[in-house]
A and B are shown apart, each in its own frame.
Chain A
Amino acid sequence: MTALPNRVERKLGLVIDLDTCVGCHACVTACKGWNTENYGAPLGDADAYGADPVGAFLNRIHSFEVTPDEGPAQVVHFPKSCLHCDDAPCVTVCPTGASYKRSEDGIVLVNESDCIGCGLCAWACPYGAREQDPVEKVMKKCTLCVDRIYNDNLPEVDRVPACVRTCPAGARHFGDLSDPDSDVSRLVAERDGMDLMPEQGTAPVNKYLPPRPKDAELDILAPLLEPVAETPRGLLGWLDRALEKL
């Protein structure tokens, strides 16, 4: 049913730290791997080794250049996947009921055997979180690794989304954002976690932690390192003087 649930018991989601992300794309690869081998249709690629490869991904890393009022420009790596919105427009536009938001944990999922591949959900999503699989022709999206987080066959440490488990920088955090005392909620409160495109009225569950302000002095060791040999001596000095005279 594509009506949104009146109330969700929990709001499982991700908190993504833009200060920590190093832009290594490991989460992209882990996501593609897990979601190709497990729940649902494999994430397809078309023309994978050809001139114009295109494939379905549930998570993509953009990099932005941010110029502060003072100081040099900085690069911020920006992972983007489904935000599992409270008011998910992708769900309500679905004509078949294939898209739904779960009342028990708020995860937005696609029932692929009901999906007609009309693509309207992708049009309705402001974040580009849904893509049509080029092989299976059904809509694919982040499942929050629903087949890992409740999977008793996995060691407890692995019962988090593949992107979170693999992130070498610890930039991705998973938890219940409806519980104000959860680790993720405290992180959001401490670091002023933000919504993407709040004006779109989607009420995203996933939050982004803004980059911390950089220190004014970027290189703390620089003052300790006096410049060496500004005027060359010895052979180099003679060469320098000789060349100067030419």
Chain B
Amino acid sequence: MHPAPSLIAFTVLSGLGFGLLACLGLGLAPTERWTGTVFFALGFGLAGTGLLSSTLHLGHPERALKAFTQWRTSWLSREAWLACATLAVAGLYAALAVLAGLTVAPLGWLAAALCLVTVGATSMIYGQLRTVPRWHHWSTPALFVGFAVTGGILLAGQVTAAAVLLALLGVAQFLAWRAGDRRLAASGSTVATATGLGPRVRLFEPPHTGGNYLTHEMVFQVARRHATKLRSIALVVAFIAPAVLLMLPFSHALAAAAVVAHVAGMVLIRWLFFAEAEHVVGLYYGRPVG
């Protein structure tokens, strides 16, 4: 799939923002006075920027409000509702905490739950697609929520917990990559089922010599060649480096470096998430699979 920068920004930033807001809701970071204000501003800023960047992906962003109508069937619509509900509840919690110095714990728990459900809904936009076997698995929402929790804990400054979560998430991501590599072959979709023309069939001539929307959007192949190298770099930058930095004697500079490394690695991992995903329509365009 085409790794659109707007979608990478959307999933990375909104995941981090909602992760941090969830931690604030659970009281894992200071919520009052100036420190609280800064944490809430960071959480809302990240989540808001992420949500806004998702509209850059649209052909008609001016009609984006229509995306709230189909929550009965569409995960994208559900995500829109959940994101707004989360921002509203977390906003009320933040306003009471910062302005009135009143931390309403149950409201915070509700906000935290909504944050994680919203990230889950975001992941289901991808996880629901049977056409992309690599994504169509419970590990897709699990990893998205895992990234949100880890990023949130890291931003909230829970040093020990963050180091442990980074290690666990790194292992989970590694296993998910390994399992994902086999999922297209296991999906049962082949050029034989796509064409019904028997086992020995190959594309002789594509419909046209140039590209089209489908090949640009869904038959993207750049990452395949360097997959192992990119994955190794991502594991080091996103998990190992920040975990090591956190285990050193604490300083704010090292913690900031850990955050920067984790976010940079996460951007690379999300780029790979899109770029490595094979869409079954590639079978009609002679892209070998499995």
Contacts and interface: CB of A to CB of B under 8 A. Distances in A.
Contacts of B60: 115-117, 137-138
Interface stretch (A58-66, A171-179, A232-240): A58-66
Contacts of A132: 59, 213, 217
Interface stretch (B11-19, B32-40, B204-212, B230-238): B204-212
Interface in B158-215: 187-189, 191, 193-198, 200-208, 210-214
B59 A115 contact: yes
A116 B288 CA distance: 32
A62 B72 CA distance: 36
Interface string A61-83: 11111111000000110101000
B196 A196 contact: yes
A116 B67 contact: yes
Interface in A193-229: 194-201, 208, 210-211
Contact of A123 (B201, B207, B218, B285): B218
Contacts of A119: 57, 59, 217
A55 interface: yes
A2 B188 CA distance: 28
B210 A53 contact: yes
A57 B210 CA distance: 13
A220 B281 CA distance: 39
B74 A2 contact: yes
Interface size range on B against A: 35 or more
Interface size range on A against B: 35 or more
B88 interface: no
A22 interface: no
A128 B216 CA distance: 12
Interface stretch (A86-94, A146-154, A155-163, A182-190): A86-94
Nearest to B2: A119
A125 interface: yes
B196 A62 contact: no
Contact of B189 (A53, A67, A197, A211): A197
Contact of B212 (A57, A96, A98): A57
Contacts of A76: 195, 197, 201
Contact of A64 (B70, B204, B218, B281): B204
B67 A95 contact: yes
Contact of B193 (A52, A115, A125, A199): A199
B201 A125 contact: no
Contacts of B202: 64-65
Contacts of B80: 95
A96 B279 contact: no
A1 interface: yes
Output the residue of A1, A52, A97, A115 with the most chain B CB within 10 A: A97
Interface of B: 1, 57-61, 63-64, 66-70, 72-77, 80, 125, 128-132, 187-189, 191, 193-198, 200-208, 210-214, 216-218, 279-281, 284-285
11 contacts: A62-B205, A67-B201, A76-B197, A78-B195, A94-B74, A115-B60, A118-B76, A119-B217, A120-B74, A127-B284, A211-B197
